[in-house]
Structure 1
């Protein structure tokens, strides 16, 4: 590739892209299949239908990831963004399931919310002027803080696990984290780029003799199973369900905008309002595709932002390979079962490093904010405090009306809304061009300067 090629657009040797692409899949896999499992439990679906929902989920995640990374017409932010089923609408969808709406009604509401998201995306793209460094840094720091409990629960053995905190769990998670750190300190080039994959491999090998690896279901799973639209019947369209998921779609897009800004910072390609519009429009398209292919609303996965910082690999084509892998896993249930056999304790060690990278990026951005007056300090302080509420006290908002759940369930959303409103109150509204210049000039572009400053490795 020529020297003028931006690392985001660089096509690396296939072996390198495959290895780093596998890392992205492993990082997001547990989150990707969680929502279908939750909704299946609420609907009390038989095992074969649960398996099909998971396959549909993976297939759609892969398709939408490809659109987001490669770009088609006005869709796709063309950054290394991996897409997955969002956790934001879980509450409303479980309520739909409990009310007897069924999967056709949920999928119909999902499709309608996707169309709604496509329509409003350009408006959200114009909100860039409300995201100066004090707001962006606060949101990104909150994203990292919100992800920490996920990694810690994984490292302990998984939420509600009977052997949570077992010393063997802690040992495996610690070894994974140490391997990642040692590789990043002592190795360079390609091996440093796949430090997370190598750390997880070591953790998997240690987990085997402990009996933590569950291979059940692999032998019975088919090698190939097609995913086809409307497998559970033609969708139905319930006005209340549609309104609920459209409200959630607004929340999803607020969170995605913060993630795009974080990823643009790490990838050294600041996100413009046009970029943001294309990315958010793809959130809507992905949700529409999800409803058609028997799955749920999609959004950008924040788990993978930290992986870009850890590896220093910014190529969107690497994540496009991840999209191909995800769709393949959706069509190849046996391979999907093999990936699912990786213990969560292995993911925990890697998650602490990657999610910490997200939080640290927010701190670095906030270090560039001017604190001569106490206004910016108040914005950061109050926004972080509000963002921690769902983590510190999950039942804090339970006495409020049910419709507020779409806004109050997520610390990221609460922090983002609070930071935006406080910034508008304390500081003058900056133009889009001023914010873009700030992103380009003032925000540190990576926490891995020793990797990011060197050219992408070649075979």
Structure 2
């Protein structure tokens, strides 16, 4: 039977390598494709050469691994000392695409560099802002985050964005095999096989995909064995409008990080996230943007996939996630190691992602209901989700608005969800509970 007193269920403590390696690798497999995909999209849009693209993918893995270690162990004020996995954020893709087409990749990196410093400053004042993020607000953001990620999971399940065989029977069968494998091992086995059910599902899916012709190993032949990522491959250009647009997306990243940090503390540690944890997490997010710009890659943010893993397994040991970060760094130095993982078909990842993303939404529901769901709180949740998430499902609503407004509010809807939830929490009158009413009547 699973020992709930094991160190893997504790924030601190040295986990055995026999546990830390598979559980850490599980985290990396879950986020690997999503981590490199945004950069691939931007590189293709800007017509980068194969050599530049390969080098930037290596740098992406290196920065993700380093910033994950900062989140796990903290350096000065940077980091939450929580098992937060960092990776390239999809939320930056639309605005970075627009900036890249207008100013080139140097303009993107200059704006990302400045935006990273702005987010670090934002993290320094998070303690003062904490009162504006009670459970009803953070829970609504986490719930919206899970809901907004579900289309991504389903897209992966069907074969991935833009796939020529999108929605094919083979993709749907492969995704279903992974989903059923995860479900069976999670619910019908005990011990390490239950905890590592996502990893087992991904491995089974990968193996099944090979005879189906969905994994092409020929790409590995031309890759070198060892290659160390180098900084400043590209230069910097600074443009005010680009800095403003990308800095707004750093605000989105901060909201996502606050939601992810809150969810990890709640569903993994069983308590609220502290002011220092939220502040350190957001500041580390900014550091990831700065380091990323120096190594010519896109900003990092906390990954929702990994929050879903923690919500499912309750494995919250930071050393386990740090072990996974070590795999990312190894993948950056040994290109073939990373390439083998990057060849994982999207439908395999989708089979695991659907459940993980749904678990994030469930974590949001638990946060919301940790306080009485009275009329006031119900109104906050309903309006924030109704307008914020609803708007993201119908992006054409903002077609006549300025492009910056479309990019900020029309992508995932998280910014609008957070803005509405925070505003309503401030302006709506507090409801007295029954005990307070009885005391007032007695007086």
- TM-score of the aligned structures, taking structure 1 as reference length: 0.88
CA shift digits 1:205-263 (9 cap, x unpaired): 2222211122231111111111111012x323223322222222122112211111111
CA shift digits 1:295-334 (9 cap, x unpaired): 1112111111010122221111111112111122112111
2:392 is the alignment partner of 1:376: no
Query: Aligned in 2, Cα 1:54/1:4: closer, same or farther, shift over 3 Å?
Result: closer
Query: Aligned in 2, Cα 1:3/1:308: closer, same or farther, shift over 3 Å?
Result: closer
Q: Helix, strand or coil for the counterpart of 1:216?
A: helix
Instruction: Show the 5 A alignment for 1:75-224.
Output: 75-99=78-102, 101-224=103-226
Q: Helix, strand or coil for the counterpart of 1:84?
A: strand
Aligned to 1:344: 346
Instruction: Show the 5 A alignment for 1:30-429.
Output: 30-99=33-102, 101-232=103-234, 234-268=235-269, 269-372=271-374, 374-404=375-405, 405-428=407-430
**Which deviates more from structure 2 when the two are superposed, residues 394-403 or residues 52-61?**
394-403
CA contact (8 A) 1:89 1:406 kept: no
CA shift digits 1:360-401 (9 cap, x unpaired): 1112223333244x2222211111112323542233323211
Q: Helix, strand or coil for the counterpart of 1:267?
A: helix
The separation in 1 between residues aligned to 2:165 and 2:239, in whole angstroms, is 42
Among residues 8, 16, 23, which one is paired with 2:11 in the alignment? 8
Aligned to 2:438: none
1:132 CA displacement: 1.8
CA shift digits 1:109-151 (9 cap, x unpaired): 2111111111221223332211222212211111111111111
CA shift digits 1:66-99 (9 cap, x unpaired): 1111111111101110001122222222122211
CA contact (8 A) 1:88 1:406 kept: no
Q: Helix, strand or coil for the counterpart of 2:220?
A: coil
Query: Aligned in 2, Cα 1:239/1:184: closer, same or farther, shift over 3 Å?
Result: same
User: Could you list the runs of 5+ residues in structure 1 that have no partner in the other structure?
Assistant: 430-459
1:427 CA displacement: 3.9
Query: Aligned in 2, Cα 1:134/1:270: closer, same or farther, shift over 3 Å?
Result: closer
Query: Aligned in 2, Cα 1:316/1:390: closer, same or farther, shift over 3 Å?
Result: farther
How many residue pairs were aligned?
A: 425
The separation in 1 between residues aligned to 2:76 and 2:342, in whole angstroms, is 35
- TM-score of the aligned structures, taking structure 2 as reference length: 0.91
Query: Aligned in 2, Cα 1:130/1:294: closer, same or farther, shift over 3 Å?
Result: same
The separation in 2 between residues aligned to 1:389 and 1:137, in whole angstroms, is 17
**Which deviates more from structure 2 when the two are superposed, residues 117-126 or residues 66-75?**
117-126
1:5 CA displacement: 10
**For the aligned residues, what is the CA RMSD?**
2.0
Q: Helix, strand or coil for the counterpart of 2:219?
A: coil
Q: Helix, strand or coil for the counterpart of 1:217?
A: helix
The separation in 2 between residues aligned to 1:243 and 1:364, in whole angstroms, is 35
CA contact (8 A) 1:251 1:407 kept: no
The separation in 2 between residues aligned to 1:319 and 1:218, in whole angstroms, is 27
The separation in 1 between residues aligned to 2:262 and 2:423, in whole angstroms, is 18
CA contact (8 A) 1:136 1:258 kept: yes
The separation in 2 between residues aligned to 1:87 and 1:144, in whole angstroms, is 14
The separation in 1 between residues aligned to 2:210 and 2:411, in whole angstroms, is 37
1:428 CA displacement: 4.4
- Structure 1 runs of 4+ aligned residues shifted over 4 Å read 2-6
The separation in 1 between residues aligned to 2:202 and 2:62, in whole angstroms, is 24
CA shift digits 1:16-39 (9 cap, x unpaired): 111111111111111111221121
Q: Helix, strand or coil for the counterpart of 2:232?
A: coil
Aligned to 2:436: none
Q: Helix, strand or coil for the counterpart of 1:160?
A: coil
